[in-house]
């Protein structure tokens, strides 16, 4: 795992547009994915995440044409997810210009998919995405699939460990409870998962201030922070985020 912490703006895409919601609902438009991605590349983002958030729910594949257009405009690593259900889907996205492919619902349905894919192309290309909600009665977290629509009986802690053991290269961990709220990342959840696995954990869900980004890596032990609202609506720039992190003792690439 790198000593440098990454800042990753996230493009949630629906119907060909970047969108942003709160707790996975109340979706609003946030721009054209190609233009938004170009801006983040120019601002100095470390990576970009492109997530087709309705692909699995609508039983279709990720919009390859849009991925190709984004990949042509950015010169930093691009992670793409949404509707990935088999090895061919992974190859198609890598061929379209993705550097990494995020797999979520399909891995829950068939955990062997992670082994099958990473055995063929290596773990560095595969990001295991986990969407979770905290249980009301205790401190555990449950895994959700299909863009947060379907609850499973799977415990997030155990699932993260299994994904690591099966060969995932990174974990993209999203707190659905915090998503879009700007109230900060779920630091207890982050700490729990980061301490349990030997691969990088990307914090997602809740970024509202620069302090939240710092807390995710310092307190939550995340290796990277993913954010949308604060960057999409120019509350902060990537550069401001990196300068704040460096000022507060976090190693980042300026």
Distance CA 184, CA 197 (A): 22
What does R_g of the chain's alpha carbons equal in angstroms?
A: 16
CB atoms closer than 10 angstroms to residue 91: 14
Which of 41, 46, 131, 179 is an active site residue?
131
Which of 12, 41, 89, 186 is an active site residue?
12
Task: Decide: helix, strand or coil at residue 113.
Answer: helix
Active site residue 41: no
Environment class of 245 (CB within 10 Å of its CB; exposed 0-12, middle 13-18, buried 19+): buried
What's the DSSP call for residue 179? T
Active site residue 12: yes
Residue 87 belongs to what H/E stretch? helix 87-95
The residues annotated as belonging to the active site are 12, 131
């Amino acid at each position: 795992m790198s000593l440098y912490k990454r800042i990753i703006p996230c493009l949630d895409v629906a119907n060909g547009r970047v969108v942003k919601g709160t707790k996975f609902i109340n979706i609003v438009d946030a721009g054209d994915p190609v233009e938004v991605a170009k801006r983040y590349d120019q601002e100095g983002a470390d990576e970009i995440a492109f997530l087709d958030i309705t692909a699995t729910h609508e039983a279709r594949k990720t919009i390859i044409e849009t991925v190709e257009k984004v990949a042509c405009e950015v010169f930093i690593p691009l992670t793409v997810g949404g509707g990935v259900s088999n090895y061919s889907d992974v190859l198609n996205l890598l061929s379209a210009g993705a550097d990494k492919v995020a797999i979520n619902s399909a891995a829950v349905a068939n955990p062997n998919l992670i082994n099958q894919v990473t055995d063929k192309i290596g773990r560095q290309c595969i990001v295991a995405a986990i969407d979770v909600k905290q249980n009301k009665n205790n401190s555990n977290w449950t895994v959700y699939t299909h863009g947060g629509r379907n609850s499973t009986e799977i415990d997030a802690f155990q699932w993260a460990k299994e994904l690591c053991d099966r060969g995932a290269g990174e974990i993209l961990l999203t707190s659905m409870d915090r998503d879009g709220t700007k109230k900060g990342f779920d630091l207890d959840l982050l700490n729990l998962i980061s301490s349990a696995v030997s691969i990088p954990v990307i914090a997602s869900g809740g970024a509202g201030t620069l302090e939240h980004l710092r807390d995710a890596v310092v307190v939550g032990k995340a290796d990277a922070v993913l954010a949308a609202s604060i960057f999409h609506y120019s509350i902060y720039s990537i550069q401001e985020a990196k300068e704040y992190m460096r000022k507060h003792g976090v190693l980042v690439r300026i």
